[in-house]
Chain A
Amino acid sequence: DSGVTQTPKHLITATGQRVTLRCSPRSGDLSVYWYQQSLDQGLQFLIHYYNGEERAKGNILERFSAQQFPDLHSELNLSSLELGDSALYFCASSAGQGAWSFFGQGTRLTVV
Chain B
Amino acid sequence: AQTVTQSQPEMSVQEAETVTLSCTYDTSESDYYLFWYKQPPSRQMILVIRQEAYKQQNATENRFSVNFQKAAKSFSLKISDSQLGDAAMYFCGTIQGAQKLVFGQGTRLTINP
Contacts and interface: CB of A to CB of B under 8 A. Distances in A.
A88 B42 CA distance: 12
Contacts of B98: 31, 48, 50, 55, 94, 96-98
- Interface range for B: 20 to 34
Interface in A3-53: 31, 33, 37, 41-43, 45, 48, 50
A75 B50 CA distance: 28
A83 interface: no
B28 interface: no
Interface of A: 2, 31, 33, 37, 41-43, 45, 48, 50, 55-56, 58, 88, 90, 92, 94, 96-98, 100-103, 105-106
B100 A33 contact: yes
Nearest to A56: B99
Interface in B19-56: 33, 35, 37, 43-47, 50, 52
Given A48-B99, A55-B99, A101-B35, A42 B105 contact: yes
Nearest to A98: B33
B103 A43 contact: yes
